[in-house]
Structure 1
Amino acid sequence: MRFHTRKWVKPEDLNPNHTLFGGRLLAWIDEELALYSIIQLQNSKIVTKHMSEINFRSSARQGDIIEIGIDVIKFGNSSITLTCQVRNMMTRETIISIDHITMVSLGDDGKPKAHGKTQIEYVKDRLED
Structure 2
Amino acid sequence: MASQIPASFPSEAKTVQQSKTCLTDLVFPPDTNHHHTVFGGKVMAYVDKIACITAMRHCRKPVVTVSSDSFEFLGPIKTGEAINLEAYVTCAHRTSMEIFVKVESENLLTGEKRLTSRALLTMLAVDAEGRPSPVPPLVPVNQEEIHRYQQAKERYEKRKKKKA
The separation in 2 between residues aligned to 1:73 and 1:31, in whole angstroms, is 17
The separation in 1 between residues aligned to 2:26 and 2:58, in whole angstroms, is 26
The separation in 1 between residues aligned to 2:45 and 2:53, in whole angstroms, is 12
- 1:53 positional shift: 2.2
Superposed, which structure 2 residues align to 1:1-129 within 5 Å? Answer: 4-43=22-61, 45-90=62-107, 91-98=112-119, 100-115=120-135, 117-119=136-138
Q: CA RMSD in A?
A: 1.7
- 1:119 positional shift: 2.7
Dislocated runs of 4+, deviation >6 Å:
none
The separation in 2 between residues aligned to 1:34 and 1:72, in whole angstroms, is 10
Is the 1:3–1:67 contact (alpha carbons within 8 Å) kept by the matching residues of 2? Answer: no
Aligned residue type for 2:43:
L
The separation in 1 between residues aligned to 2:118 and 2:90, in whole angstroms, is 14
- 1:71 positional shift: 2.6
Query: Helix, strand or coil for the counterpart of 2:43?
Result: helix
Considering fraction of residues, name the structure with more helix.
Answer: 2
Say how many residue pairs are matched: 117
The separation in 1 between residues aligned to 2:30 and 2:117, in whole angstroms, is 20
Q: Which has the larger radius of gyration?
A: 2
Is the 1:79–1:103 contact (alpha carbons within 8 Å) kept by the matching residues of 2? Answer: yes
Tell me the TM-score normalised to structure 1 length: 0.83
Is the 2:22–2:85 contact (alpha carbons within 8 Å) kept by the matching residues of 1? Answer: yes
- 1:101 positional shift: 1.1
Is the 2:125–2:132 contact (alpha carbons within 8 Å) kept by the matching residues of 1? Answer: yes
Q: Deviations over 1:84-105 (max 9, x none)?
A: 110112242111111x211000
Q: Which stretches in structure 1 are left out of the alignment for 5+ residues?
A: 121-129
Identity in percent: 20
Q: Which stretches in structure 2 are left out of the alignment for 5+ residues?
A: 1-16, 140-164
